[in-house]
Amino acid sequence: MHDIMAWMEEHKQDIINDLKELVAIESPSLDKAAVDRLSGYLEGLFKGAGAHTEFLRRADRGDILRLEWGQGREAGQTLVLSHMDTVFAIGDIAKNPIRIADGRMYGPGTSDMKAGFVLFLWALRCMQELGLEPRRKVVGLLTSDEEVGSEASRDVIEEEARRSAVALVTEPAMPPTGALKTWRKGTAGYQLHVTGKPAHAGADPTKGISAVEELAHQILKLQKLTDMAVGTTVNVGVISGGSRSNVVAAEAYADIDVRFMTMAEAGRIEGIIKGLQPVVPGARLRVAGGINRPPMVRNEATVALFEQARTLASELGFTVGEAGTGGGSDGNFTSGAGCPTIDGLGAVGDGLHTFEEYVAVDSLPQRAALMVRMLQEA
């Protein structure tokens, strides 16, 4: 274990250099060509670490890079999940250049989550050079659309999860302490479309049916569904409606975000939203959307994985805590498929999805070493 930590410390600058190089290859979720450029480059790096690779082609999103590494001391497989796409646009790196200051490396997607697959890569390189064997065959999925809902990769993730003994997710650790994540809320999204009737707001207002007025009633209902005691949040985050101030609005829209701790609660909230009834006479409602990600549940298997990770980190000379979050990841899918899952094994940092996003560079060797030990023992 000390050899692993020492090896990673010796290669710290190399890890940083790789991260710089991969952050420089911009990969917005909705730019297939950009994500595919990154996956093509990564294929060569993972092959160099001894992995067998293949591309799972996708028409409208970036291709998924699947890899296998090692034979394993036991039958079965360990699944490692990373995603290549970021929330940042092409050209953002010019506005937010890669830089290191006060022990922090800044740049678009440094923490979420290019450092995640860099740590995975260096874990495999370490095991290859030191002749270390994983507990089971390692299967890695580098997906292309996590930041936009994983519609093009969910089926593959769940299929691999059902074949896997455990899933290790290289999403960023929980800021600011670097804790691992043992639970995540599930997510759902709904679109509410309100139809009214237009009329001249000054000359004939009584002939109109205001979709905006109806939407206002519904927004108040929806916001009251939030119940912090059970971990449920309902947020009307985007609204639009009407055409001109002197016209009674004929249409109005709202986008609704829902987070929940259990599928039972998700079903309860969905029933309420899809059963909404109009308040303004003559207004009509239409609801679309549904549950996107099941919750990643903190269960006995997940807690056991965390305790194992905590022990291994302690043996390597550092500590990790436990946390959860309202944000979703592809770990929600592996957990929902019944695969014990530990999340947050990626970079320690903060400022995700902003130009202040950073990675704490001194933590990189530690997190890569922990990935090695998890592949060996989890």
Is residue 44 classed exposed, middle or buried when 0-12, 13-18 and 19+ CB atoms within 10 A define those classes? Answer: exposed
Tell me the residue length of the chain.
Answer: 378
Query: E-assigned strands of 233-366?
Result: 233-241, 251-260, 284-293, 322-325, 341-342, 349-350, 358-360
Predicted model pTM: 0.93
What per-residue confidence (pLDDT) applies to 159? 98
**Rounded to an integer, what distance in angstroms lies between the CA atom of residue 356 and that of residue 3?**
34
| Cα(99)–Cα(77) distance, integer angstroms | 37
Q: List, in sequence order, every beta strand (DSSP E) within 282-348.
A: 284-293, 322-325, 341-342
Specify the pLDDT at position 298. 96
The secondary structure of 220-249, three-state, reads HHHHCCCEHHHCEEEEEEEEEECCCCCECC
Provide the residue ranges of all domains of the chain, joining segments of one domain with +: 2-185+295-377, 186-293
Compute φ and ψ for 287, nearest 5 degrees: -115, 130
Read off the pLDDT of residues 43-73 as tens digits, 9 standing for 90 and up. Answer: 999 999 999 999 999 999 999 999 999 999 9
Residue-level pLDDT at 206: 96
Q: What tens digit of pLDDT does each residue of 109-153 get?
A: 999 999 999 999 999 999 999 999 999 999 999 999 999 999 999
Mean pLDDT over the full length of the chain = 97
pLDDT at 207: 97
Amino acid identity, residue 288? A
Indicate the CATH number for domain 2-185+295-377: 3.40.630.10
Residues of the chain with pLDDT > 70, as a percent, come to 100
188-205 mean pLDDT: 97
303 phi/psi in degrees, rounded to 5:
-60, -40
CB neighbour list of residue 17: distance below 8 Å, 6 or more residues apart = none
Cα–Cα distance for residue pair 148/1, rounded to 1 Å? 38
Query: Would the CA dihedral through 262, 265, 267, 269 be positive or negative?
Result: negative
Report the pLDDT averaged over residues 210-220. Answer: 98
| pLDDT grade for 165, boundaries at 50, 70 and 90 | very high
User: For position 1, what pLDDT does the model report?
Assistant: 64
**Position 97 confidence tier, pLDDT thresholds 50, 70, 90:** very high
**Looking at domain 186-293, which of 3.30.70.360, 3.30.750.24, 3.40.50.10790, 3.40.50.10490 is its CATH number?**
3.30.70.360
Per-residue pLDDT for 28 more than 80? Answer: yes
The amino acid present at 60, given as its one-letter code, is D
Given pLDDT bands bounded at 50, 70 and 90, which one contains residue 25?
A: very high
Give me the mean pLDDT over the 30-45 stretch. Answer: 98
pLDDT tens-digit readout, 282-302: 999 999 999 999 999 999 999
- Sign, Cα dihedral of 147, 111, 115, 140: negative
Q: What burial class does residue 243 get, using C-beta atoms within 10 Å of its C-beta: 0-12 exposed, 13-18 middle, 19+ buried?
A: exposed
pLDDT above 80 for 365? yes
Of residues 188, 171, 206, the one with CA closest to residue 293: 188
